[in-house]
A = this chain, B = another copy of it.
Amino acid sequence: MEHQFHEWLKSKTKTNPSLTQQQIPADSYSVIAGIGDDAAVIDFAGQPLVITTDAIAEGTHFRLSDRPKNPDSVSLSVLERIGRKALAVSLSDIAAMGANPIAATLSFQCPKFLTIDNLKALYDGAGRLAAEFEVAIVGGDTNTWDGGLVVSSTVFGTRNNDLTGWSLDGAQDGDVIYVSGAFGGSIHGRHFDFEPRLRLANHLAANYQINSATDASDSLTMDLMAIAKASGVSLTIDLNAVPISEDVQASQETSALEHALSDGEDFELIFTVAPEVAIRLDQATKLPTPITKIGRVSVGSPGLRDLNNNPIPIRGYEHQG
């Protein structure tokens, strides 16, 4: 249903642009990118303001071990990792826009059994990541209730005024497709501890023209498909080139490659560049994170195909912490 609602929102704001485009009060503010990309971009008095918001929820994105009768049994380190993750997923979106984070708000919807020390642990987990990336935590909202834990983050950043590309819909015929890092098996811990690819995004934004970009949150195939659909292009993927994480635990039912293609929450960058940029990128030696060339963009109906022109199934994973 989330997907269906998202499509409705996009169509609504397309057919009624006043919802996102025109109702900015003063001439010096306008929406550059609204609902549908990794983050929104607003022209804020001449400077791009990049905004993203994410919520992670108990049972969907993490578990609080067993729900304890005794609050002491909620591990502080689990809470720190949850707080960290809430901020990290938003920072990953900021990276996927070629932007730098500046400030964040964090909100906690808390089960009643959580203690003040539990809350502090949640906050400290986010706080350490914020400090690492020089993000100021400027506010939030904390409420307790009978329900489960939800942690929401909103991150504000900026990027160079003359930056172009970095959008879901920017992939061009002939572009080369790259990914950072490796995919699959994040469920074994990396979905908490992943590094938002801000350093890589920064380096790329400063040195290369990136046509399209997103971060892999749903799954490699789902997020590639998001680029294909938004850009109206076909993506040919060299399945032998897909970098598979050491975290993958392959089984008879699911091969390592299938995990890499369909597991979620890798939070790696996926991006496309023109062939001439790809030549420079392949010679780059100082990238903060390794990248891998996994395919090509071509004209065609939106979809993923392997080198034999067979369709690649689009599969995602139900996140479970």
Contacts and interface: CB of A to CB of B under 8 A. Distances in A.
Contact of A143 (B2, B29, B131, B135): B2
Instruction: Select the residue from A4, A18, A53, A127 with max chain B CB neighbours within 10 A.
Output: A53
Interface stretch (A57-65, A180-188, A257-265, A289-297): A57-65
Contacts of A123: 5, 9
B139 A40 contact: yes
A284 interface: no
Interface in A112-168: 114-116, 119-120, 123, 127, 130-131, 134-148, 150, 152, 154, 156, 158
A102 B27 CA distance: 11
B147 A147 contact: yes
A103 interface: yes
Contacts of A143: 2, 55, 57, 60
Contacts of A53: 105, 107, 139-141, 152, 154
Number of copies: 2
A19 B158 contact: no
A1 B1 CA distance: 34
A20 interface: yes
A147 B148 CA distance: 6
A317 interface: no
A57 to B, nearest CB: 5
B130 A4 contact: no
Given A51-B139, A141-B53, A45 B45 contact: yes
Interface stretch (A31-39, A242-250, A267-275, A307-315): A31-39
Nearest to A45: B47
A44 B134 CA distance: 15
Contact of A44 (B2, B44, B150): B44
Contact of A144 (B1, B20, B147): B1
Interface in A98-114: 100, 102-103, 105, 107, 109-110, 114
A170 B125 CA distance: 33
A34 B109 contact: no
Given A8-B116, A57-B147, 19 more contacts: A1-B114, A1-B119, A1-B144, A5-B116, A5-B120, A24-B134, A31-B136, A34-B136, A35-B138, A44-B44, A45-B158, A53-B105, A54-B141, A57-B145, A58-B147, A60-B143, A109-B109, A147-B147, A154-B154
Interface of A: 1-2, 4-6, 8-9, 13, 18-21, 23-25, 29, 31, 34-35, 39-40, 42, 44-47, 49, 51-55, 57-60, 100, 102-103, 105, 107, 109-110, 114-116, 119-120, 123, 127, 130-131, 134-148, 150, 152, 154, 156, 158
18 contacts: A1-B119, A2-B142, A20-B137, A23-B130, A23-B134, A34-B138, A34-B139, A35-B138, A40-B103, A44-B49, A44-B158, A51-B105, A52-B105, A53-B139, A55-B152, A58-B145, A59-B147, A147-B148
